[in-house]
Structure 1
Protein backbone atom coordinates (compact mmCIF):
# COMPACT_ATOMS: atom_id res chain seq x y z
CA UNK A 1 0.00 0.00 0.00
CA UNK A 2 1.34 3.42 -0.91
CA UNK A 3 1.50 6.30 1.52
CA UNK A 4 -1.12 8.97 0.85
CA UNK A 5 -0.38 12.21 2.75
CA UNK A 6 -3.96 13.48 2.36
CA UNK A 7 -5.41 10.30 3.89
CA UNK A 8 -2.86 10.55 6.70
CA UNK A 9 -4.07 14.10 7.47
CA UNK A 10 -7.70 12.96 7.39
CA UNK A 11 -6.90 10.04 9.72
CA UNK A 12 -5.13 12.41 12.10
CA UNK A 13 -8.13 14.74 12.17
CA UNK A 14 -6.19 17.63 10.65
CA UNK A 15 -8.41 17.69 7.55
CA UNK A 16 -12.18 17.07 7.67
CA UNK A 17 -13.21 13.57 6.59
CA UNK A 18 -15.64 15.12 4.12
CA UNK A 19 -16.72 18.58 3.10
CA UNK A 20 -20.47 18.12 3.44
CA UNK A 21 -22.23 20.74 5.57
CA UNK A 22 -23.70 19.68 8.93
CA UNK A 23 -27.28 19.65 7.54
CA UNK A 24 -26.34 17.21 4.76
CA UNK A 25 -27.43 13.59 5.05
CA UNK A 26 -23.81 12.75 4.13
CA UNK A 27 -22.19 14.78 6.93
CA UNK A 28 -20.11 12.36 8.95
CA UNK A 29 -20.04 9.76 6.19
CA UNK A 30 -16.43 8.71 5.72
CA UNK A 31 -14.46 9.31 2.55
CA UNK A 32 -12.70 6.09 1.57
CA UNK A 33 -9.98 5.38 -0.97
CA UNK A 34 -9.62 2.34 -3.19
CA UNK A 35 -6.70 2.08 -5.61
CA UNK A 36 -6.14 5.82 -5.41
CA UNK A 37 -9.78 6.77 -6.05
CA UNK A 38 -11.67 8.54 -3.27
CA UNK A 39 -15.33 7.70 -2.79
CA UNK A 40 -18.00 8.28 -0.21
CA UNK A 41 -18.68 5.42 2.16
CA UNK A 42 -22.14 3.94 2.48
CA UNK A 43 -24.75 5.83 4.47
CA UNK A 44 -26.91 3.36 6.32
CA UNK A 45 -30.49 4.44 6.84
CA UNK A 46 -31.62 4.52 10.45
CA UNK A 47 -34.51 2.31 11.56
CA UNK A 48 -37.57 4.64 11.56
CA UNK A 49 -38.76 3.31 14.92
CA UNK A 50 -35.47 4.46 16.51
CA UNK A 51 -36.18 8.09 15.58
CA UNK A 52 -38.05 10.33 18.01
CA UNK A 53 -41.30 11.86 16.79
CA UNK A 54 -41.73 15.64 16.77
CA UNK A 55 -45.20 15.50 15.23
CA UNK A 56 -47.24 14.37 12.25
CA UNK A 57 -48.30 16.00 9.01
CA UNK A 58 -51.27 15.11 6.80
CA UNK A 59 -50.21 15.48 3.16
CA UNK A 60 -52.11 18.11 1.15
CA UNK A 61 -51.98 18.99 -2.54
CA UNK A 62 -48.65 20.63 -3.42
CA UNK A 63 -46.67 19.35 -0.43
CA UNK A 64 -42.97 18.74 -1.03
CA UNK A 65 -40.45 17.34 1.42
CA UNK A 66 -38.25 20.43 1.20
CA UNK A 67 -41.13 22.78 2.07
CA UNK A 68 -42.25 20.47 4.89
CA UNK A 69 -38.74 20.32 6.35
CA UNK A 70 -38.49 24.12 6.15
CA UNK A 71 -41.80 24.40 8.01
CA UNK A 72 -41.18 21.77 10.69
CA UNK A 73 -37.38 21.60 10.96
CA UNK A 74 -36.41 25.14 9.93
CA UNK A 75 -34.25 24.07 6.97
CA UNK A 76 -35.43 22.90 3.53
CA UNK A 77 -32.23 20.91 3.08
CA UNK A 78 -33.23 18.61 5.97
CA UNK A 79 -35.93 16.94 3.81
CA UNK A 80 -34.00 13.68 4.13
CA UNK A 81 -34.85 13.51 7.85
CA UNK A 82 -38.54 13.27 6.96
CA UNK A 83 -37.70 10.62 4.36
CA UNK A 84 -35.68 8.65 6.93
CA UNK A 85 -38.64 8.59 9.31
CA UNK A 86 -41.17 7.42 6.73
CA UNK A 87 -40.28 4.29 4.76
CA UNK A 88 -40.69 4.56 1.00
CA UNK A 89 -38.72 3.29 -1.96
CA UNK A 90 -38.47 6.84 -3.35
CA UNK A 91 -38.91 10.08 -1.35
CA UNK A 92 -41.48 11.49 -3.83
CA UNK A 93 -43.85 8.66 -2.83
CA UNK A 94 -44.22 10.23 0.61
CA UNK A 95 -46.19 13.22 -0.70
CA UNK A 96 -47.95 11.47 -3.59
CA UNK A 97 -51.08 10.47 -1.64
CA UNK A 98 -53.27 13.27 -0.29
CA UNK A 99 -54.14 12.58 3.33
CA UNK A 100 -51.15 10.31 3.96
CA UNK A 101 -49.70 10.89 7.41
CA UNK A 102 -45.99 11.62 7.69
CA UNK A 103 -43.97 11.43 10.87
CA UNK A 104 -41.76 14.42 11.45
CA UNK A 105 -38.80 12.91 13.27
CA UNK A 106 -35.67 13.88 15.11
CA UNK A 107 -32.26 12.61 14.10
CA UNK A 108 -31.19 9.30 15.57
CA UNK A 109 -30.25 9.51 19.23
CA UNK A 110 -32.40 12.56 19.99
CA UNK A 111 -35.61 12.13 21.99
CA UNK A 112 -38.93 13.07 20.48
CA UNK A 113 -41.96 14.82 21.92
CA UNK A 114 -44.08 12.66 24.25
CA UNK A 115 -47.49 11.84 22.73
CA UNK A 116 -46.64 13.70 19.51
Structure 2
Protein backbone atom coordinates (compact mmCIF):
# COMPACT_ATOMS: atom_id res chain seq x y z
CA UNK A 1 0.00 0.00 0.00
CA UNK A 2 1.31 3.43 -0.85
CA UNK A 3 0.83 6.47 1.29
CA UNK A 4 -0.29 9.43 -0.86
CA UNK A 5 0.87 11.85 1.82
CA UNK A 6 4.45 10.63 1.37
CA UNK A 7 4.54 12.25 -2.08
CA UNK A 8 3.32 15.65 -0.93
CA UNK A 9 5.91 18.37 -0.43
CA UNK A 10 6.26 19.56 3.13
CA UNK A 11 5.41 23.18 3.74
CA UNK A 12 8.34 25.32 4.84
CA UNK A 13 8.37 25.60 8.60
CA UNK A 14 6.29 22.48 9.21
CA UNK A 15 7.19 19.57 11.38
CA UNK A 16 5.21 16.41 11.98
CA UNK A 17 4.51 15.52 15.58
CA UNK A 18 2.35 12.76 16.99
CA UNK A 19 -1.20 13.93 17.58
CA UNK A 20 -1.99 14.34 21.27
CA UNK A 21 -5.28 13.33 22.73
CA UNK A 22 -6.61 10.98 20.05
CA UNK A 23 -7.51 7.49 21.28
CA UNK A 24 -5.94 4.55 19.43
CA UNK A 25 -9.25 3.68 17.70
CA UNK A 26 -9.69 7.22 16.35
CA UNK A 27 -9.42 7.78 12.61
CA UNK A 28 -6.94 10.52 13.46
CA UNK A 29 -4.70 8.38 15.69
CA UNK A 30 -2.05 8.07 12.95
CA UNK A 31 -2.50 11.59 11.56
CA UNK A 32 0.19 13.97 12.74
CA UNK A 33 0.07 17.60 13.71
CA UNK A 34 2.13 20.14 11.81
CA UNK A 35 3.02 23.75 12.41
CA UNK A 36 3.47 26.66 10.06
CA UNK A 37 4.95 30.03 10.87
CA UNK A 38 2.96 32.79 9.22
CA UNK A 39 4.43 35.97 7.73
CA UNK A 40 3.45 37.94 10.84
CA UNK A 41 5.41 35.53 13.06
CA UNK A 42 2.47 33.62 14.52
CA UNK A 43 2.78 29.86 14.61
CA UNK A 44 -0.30 27.87 13.63
CA UNK A 45 -0.70 24.20 14.54
CA UNK A 46 -2.97 22.08 12.37
CA UNK A 47 -3.84 18.46 11.77
CA UNK A 48 -2.36 17.08 8.56
CA UNK A 49 -4.72 15.69 5.94
CA UNK A 50 -5.90 12.15 6.55
CA UNK A 51 -6.05 10.01 3.42
CA UNK A 52 -8.42 7.08 3.08
CA UNK A 53 -6.24 3.95 3.20
CA UNK A 54 -5.95 1.48 0.35
CA UNK A 55 -8.62 -0.99 1.41
CA UNK A 56 -8.19 -3.32 -1.57
CA UNK A 57 -5.56 -5.22 0.40
CA UNK A 58 -7.81 -5.67 3.43
CA UNK A 59 -9.83 -8.85 3.65
CA UNK A 60 -13.57 -8.48 3.35
CA UNK A 61 -15.13 -9.55 6.62
CA UNK A 62 -18.73 -9.28 5.41
CA UNK A 63 -21.19 -7.43 3.25
CA UNK A 64 -24.10 -5.67 4.90
CA UNK A 65 -27.25 -4.71 3.04
CA UNK A 66 -28.40 -1.41 4.51
CA UNK A 67 -32.01 -1.09 5.62
CA UNK A 68 -34.03 2.10 6.00
CA UNK A 69 -33.33 2.14 9.75
CA UNK A 70 -29.59 1.33 9.67
CA UNK A 71 -27.02 3.86 10.82
CA UNK A 72 -23.27 3.47 10.44
CA UNK A 73 -22.71 3.55 14.18
CA UNK A 74 -25.10 0.64 14.76
CA UNK A 75 -23.62 -1.31 11.85
CA UNK A 76 -20.14 -0.71 13.31
CA UNK A 77 -21.35 -1.92 16.70
CA UNK A 78 -22.67 -5.09 15.06
CA UNK A 79 -19.47 -5.97 13.17
CA UNK A 80 -16.72 -4.36 15.27
CA UNK A 81 -18.32 -4.25 18.71
CA UNK A 82 -17.76 -0.49 18.87
CA UNK A 83 -20.12 2.11 17.44
CA UNK A 84 -17.31 4.68 17.27
CA UNK A 85 -15.60 2.69 14.52
CA UNK A 86 -18.23 3.72 11.93
CA UNK A 87 -15.49 5.55 10.03
CA UNK A 88 -13.82 2.21 9.19
CA UNK A 89 -16.94 1.29 7.22
CA UNK A 90 -16.78 4.60 5.36
CA UNK A 91 -13.08 3.99 4.61
CA UNK A 92 -13.74 0.40 3.48
CA UNK A 93 -16.18 1.72 0.89
CA UNK A 94 -13.81 4.52 -0.22
CA UNK A 95 -16.25 7.34 0.42
CA UNK A 96 -15.68 10.66 2.13
CA UNK A 97 -19.34 11.41 2.90
CA UNK A 98 -20.80 8.72 5.18
CA UNK A 99 -24.34 9.68 4.16
CA UNK A 100 -23.65 8.04 0.78
CA UNK A 101 -24.00 4.66 2.51
CA UNK A 102 -27.33 5.39 4.19
CA UNK A 103 -29.66 4.17 1.46
CA UNK A 104 -31.92 1.13 1.87
CA UNK A 105 -30.61 -1.69 -0.28
CA UNK A 106 -27.06 -0.33 -0.47
CA UNK A 107 -24.52 -3.14 -0.06
CA UNK A 108 -21.77 -2.01 2.27
CA UNK A 109 -18.38 -3.72 2.46
CA UNK A 110 -17.08 -4.45 5.96
CA UNK A 111 -13.32 -5.03 6.14
CA UNK A 112 -11.05 -6.18 8.91
CA UNK A 113 -9.17 -3.17 10.29
CA UNK A 114 -5.58 -2.65 9.17
CA UNK A 115 -4.16 -2.81 12.66
CA UNK A 116 -5.85 -6.09 13.54
CA UNK A 117 -3.78 -8.27 11.20
CA UNK A 118 -6.92 -9.19 9.30
CA UNK A 119 -8.67 -10.47 12.39
CA UNK A 120 -12.00 -8.77 13.16
CA UNK A 121 -11.98 -6.64 16.29
Q: Per the shorter chain, which TM-score range? A: 0.7 to 0.9
Supply the distance in 2 between the matched residues of 1:106 and 1:40 (Cα, whole angstroms).
Answer: 26
| SS of 1:80 mapped into structure 2 | helix
In the alignment, is residue 39 of structure 1 matched against residue 46 of structure 2? Answer: yes
Supply the distance in 1 between the matched residues of 2:50 and 2:95 (Cα, whole angstroms).
Answer: 16
Supply the distance in 2 between the matched residues of 1:86 and 1:61 (Cα, whole angstroms).
Answer: 19
Runs of 4 or more above 6 Å deviation: none
Give the structure-1-normalised TM-score. 0.75
Structure 1, unmatched stretches of 5+, are: none
| SS of 1:103 mapped into structure 2 | strand
Following superposition, the deviation at residue 89 of structure 1 comes to 4.6
Give the structure-2-normalised TM-score. 0.72
Following superposition, the deviation at residue 60 of structure 1 comes to 0.8
| SS of 1:38 mapped into structure 2 | strand
| SS of 1:93 mapped into structure 2 | helix
Following superposition, the deviation at residue 29 of structure 1 comes to 0.8
Task: Give the paired residue count.
Answer: 102
- Which has the bigger relative contact order, CA under 8 A and spacing at least 6? 1
